[in-house]
Structure 1
Amino acid sequence: MSKSILVLGRQPELGIAELESLYGPESITEISPNIVSLSLDPRDIDFERLGGSVKLAKYLTDIDSTKWSEIFQYLNSTIPKHLDHLPEGKLKLGMSVYNLNASANDINRTLLGLKKTIKASGRSVRVIPNKAQTLNSAQVLYNQLTNQLGWELLLIRDGNKTILAQTVREQDIDAYAARDQNRPKRDSKVGMLPPKLAQIIINLADRGQKNEGYTKKTVLDPFCGTGVVLQESLLIGYSAYGTDIEPRMIDYSKANLEWVSDKIKGGTNYQLEVKDAMQDKWDKPFDIVACETYLGRPLATEPDSDTLNKIIQDCNFIHKKFLTNILGQIESDTLMSIAVPVWKIKGQNIHLPILDHLEEIGYTELSFVHTKGSKLIYRREDQIVGREIIILTKSK
């Protein structure tokens, strides 16, 4: 059976939950906290859609050792046998190593040894030197290591053996930057939702793609802001329905979605309206609810307890009203993926109080097999206000 290897992003719980949502828990095997294997051919994985994975590789084989000298011997004897399958031209060779006892210097010495062997076979080759155990996305992309003449070999410790894999896709850092920074309308006051996180939020409410294929769906974002979730929905090929209480945000979303349709060739099937998520009705049908809600006041420093309590009370009120309002407007099988605020104060996470009362309102919170009960929290290290993603469905 074909098998894929995925290297997860900075917050791997989000990446593994995303994969579980789209491809099912049974397809995933955890190798380490940030690396998983998927029982799918890499060609069956829509890598551009994934916000929580940075690298997709084709599983090649297991090496029955974790000793670096023996791994080198295996590569040195095996690589020449595969050179005839490559097109003519100069080969580019790179290497990323995970959880093995090998320094960057060890890896570079190995690469030079492999270079010597490859040249002795009559092929020209350029090696990409390591500054760390792994190559970053920029190194992989700019050195074209996923092209026909590129090889990035992954060596991953898995118990007493080493997995050998070859990278076939790398996250497109330039495309993400363009979708984030080049949009005509941005507003730091309402929060800057990263496109990667928007992808994850959508995917967590879109379970079973492996079985369903791409059925046309409509994504509702009741707090659309500048339209990042809507933008990423269109790029998947879905329809987007965005509402916001503030008319200016609807204008911003309109400008940004027009830009996406023009510059990136996203779809044009979207609807935008001014609506109050706490009391208004949405047009039907919509299949998925995916949004970042109101996160409260931005905080550069930890607030005093009175200020924090006021912020939490305000956010809690809005979320309770919203969840109560939309409950009667969703179908029994509609999934809601919602990013809500979570505050880190004195090293501890403070959650919205309403999250302890979801059943009373009429919701069931869904969990993931491979996250083992961990909260799905997205936060940069220096942030006080993070996002906690919850997946809800109407209680039966």
Structure 2
Amino acid sequence: MFETLCVLGRQSGLSLVELESLFGDKNIKKIGNEAALLNINHNLVPFSRLGGTIKLCKVLTEINTTSWAKLTEYLVEHVPKHVCCIAPGKVKFGISVYGLNANPKAINVTGLKIKKASKSFNRSMRVIPNKSSELNAAQVLNNKMTDELGMELILVKSGSKTILAQTINVQDIDAYAARDQNRPKRDAKVGMLPPKLAQIIINLSQPKNGESILDPFCGTGVILQEALLMGFNVYGTDYQQLMIDYSNNNLEWLESKYKNKLEGLSYLLEPGDATSFEWQDFDKIACETYLGQPFSAEPKTDKLNQVIRDVDIIHKKFFKNLARQTKPGFKMCVAVPAWHTKSGIKHLPILDQLTDMGYTRMSFVHAKQKEMIYHRDGQFVGRELVVLIRK
């Protein structure tokens, strides 16, 4: 049986390809739209470097029903016995449900029944109430439900059965927010790359221990920052000296905040045009490229087509420049613009010419290419994640 369950992020396709890149497609089994099973012990999962997994859970058992009434009976019978094994003190308990026919009211009733049953074992319990079918990361984090006196149970529909798991770790949303918002230099004009997405991009490039990561469009240094925190040496270049200065300020700030974690690691920053620059040594590339002119709404067709042509030319020159500086087998992940128009998604034309330029675009078992576009509601320019290998 699979040992570990991952609760996936908002765009599950990106979460799945990240897991596939790290652990291999055969070690992953998708469960519904919000979870995946891993054939790996949870202690071996480097959770802090996963941008696309919200909760890491230990699989407890598989229950032969999806009926909420029967699941409630099972939980009321078995959970109090496990609560007895927890250290003395008041237990903080919660339930999150994925894919099952159970509304928040029904889940809260089940929680209170478990609380009542636990009293017969002389254990006090505080049940965290559900406002939706699942507790969010903030609720789990703020109520310390992964600590010694905490317990969040995860129930996920799997065909005609239900997987029961316990949350071991949850994304530290406060730490992500601090790394994103507290950096001294931010610039909305060049795009605000979320740290979680930066982690996914890095993981899709599949760097090995001791390797260095190049970001040739480093901007304010978000990918460099996250790669350093993962334990990699980094190398950043950018067309604008201002962005190099911003990255330098941000990485100096990072060093002051995470001095022990970054000990022994190094970073190099240089101004350089990615379409022509001669880089020093590097092992992998992870980057968000030039996204073009920012738009708050869809522009006129002629304007958009001109922007796409201009951006495409820059990418073509970049890929040509990179091809002559890399060897067969070199791997990278680049996030390129994808425009969400009323008539559909417009992609960079150069993506259809990558084979002729000496690259193979990787495909994945657990997600299609169309699922690898990071996009928020109301956002016109999305980011398409492209994993390439030099032929």
Matched, 1:312 2:308: yes
Identify the residue that residue 269 of structure 1 maps to in structure 2. 266
Q: Percent identity?
A: 52
2: distance between equivalents of 1:134 and 1:264? 32
Within the alignment, does 1:52 sit opposite 2:48 as a pair? no
Query: Partner amino acid for 2:227?
Result: S
1:99 aligns with 2:96: no
Distance apart, 1:2 and its partner CA: 5.9
Retained in 1: the 8 A contact 2:287–2:334? yes
Instruction: Output the amino acid matched with 1:269.
Output: S
Cα shift readout 1:192-217 (whole Å, capped 9, x = no counterpart): 1110000000000107xxxxxx6211
Contact 2:14–2:371 (8 Å) recurs in 1: no
- Which residue number corresponds to residue 128 of structure 1? 128
**2 CA distance for matches of 1:288 and 1:379?**
25
String of CA shifts for 1:245-291, please: whole Å, max 9, x gaps. 1001000000000111111335240000011100111001x111010
Q: Find the aligned partners of 1:297 and 1:248 in 2 and give their Cα distance.
A: 18
Please state how far the C-alpha of 1:347 moved relative to its aligned partner.
4.7
Task: Show the 5 A alignment for 1:77-226.
Answer: 77-206=77-206, 215-226=209-220
SS at match of 1:13: helix
Q: Which residue of 2 aligns with 1:229?
A: 223
Q: Choose from 324, 327, 333 the match for 2:323.
A: 327
1:76 aligns with 2:73: no
Q: Match for residue 291 of structure 1? A: 287
Aligned residues: 388
- Helix, strand or coil: the match of 1:57? strand
Which of 242, 253, 264 is the matching residue for 1:248?
242
**2: CA distance, partners of 1:90 / 1:242:** 49
Amino acid at match of 1:184: P
Kept after mapping to 1: 8 A contact 2:54/2:170: yes
Q: How far is the alpha carbon of 1:368 from its aligned partner? A: 0.6
SS at match of 1:29: strand
Shift of 1:392: 0.6
Shift of 1:380: 0.8
1:344 aligns with 2:337: no
What's 2:386 paired with? 390
Structure 1 residues 227 and 81, CA gap change in structure 2 (3 angstroms): same
Provide the rounded CA distance (Å) in 2 between the counterparts of 1:48 and 1:347.
Answer: 38
Q: In structure 1, what is the Cα distance between the partners aligned to 2:321 and 2:41?
A: 42
**Unpaired segments ≥5 residues, structure 2:** none
Residue 99 of structure 1: how far off its partner (Å): 1.0
Task: State how far apart, in whole Å, the 2-side matches of 1:34 and 1:102 are.
Answer: 16
| Match in the other structure for 1:35 | 35
CA contact (8 A) 2:2 2:37 kept: no
- Work out the CA distance in 2 between the residues paired with 1:331 and 1:57: 40
How far off is 1:336 after superposition? 1.1
Q: Distance in 2 between matches of 1:374 and 1:44?
A: 30
- Deviation string for 1:166-191 (max 9, x for gaps)? 00111110000001000000011111
What residue in structure 2 maps to residue 259 of structure 1?
253
| 1:153 CA displacement | 0.4
In the alignment, what sits opposite 1:211?
A: none
What secondary structure sits across from 1:360 in the alignment?
A: coil
Alpha-carbon distance in 2 for matches of 1:154, 1:205: 31
Q: Which amino acid aligns with 2:147?
A: N
CA distance in 1, matches of 2:382, 2:343: 13
**Aligned structure 1 segments of 4 or more residues deviating by more than 3 angstroms:** 372-375
Name the SS of the counterpart of 1:374 in structure 2. helix
Residue in 1 that maps onto 2:357? 361
Q: Which moved more, 1:17-26 or 1:77-86?
A: 77-86
How many angstroms apart in 2 are the aligned matches of 1:138 and 1:83?
A: 23
Aligned equivalents of 2:201 and 2:47: distance in 1?
A: 16
Q: State the AA in 2 paired with 1:321.
A: K
Shift of 1:79: 1.5
Structure 1, unaligned stretches of length 5 or more? 208-213
Q: Does residue 280 in structure 1 map to residue 277 in structure 2?
A: yes
Q: CA deviation at 1:326?
A: 0.5
Deviation at 1:374, TM superposition (A): 3.5
Q: Distance in 2 between matches of 1:274 and 1:231?
A: 17
Instruction: Using the TM superposition, give the Cα deviation of residue 68 of structure 1 relative to its aligned residue in structure 2, in angstroms.
Output: 1.0
Return the alpha-carbon distance in structure 2 between the equivalents of residues 347 and 25 of structure 1: 33
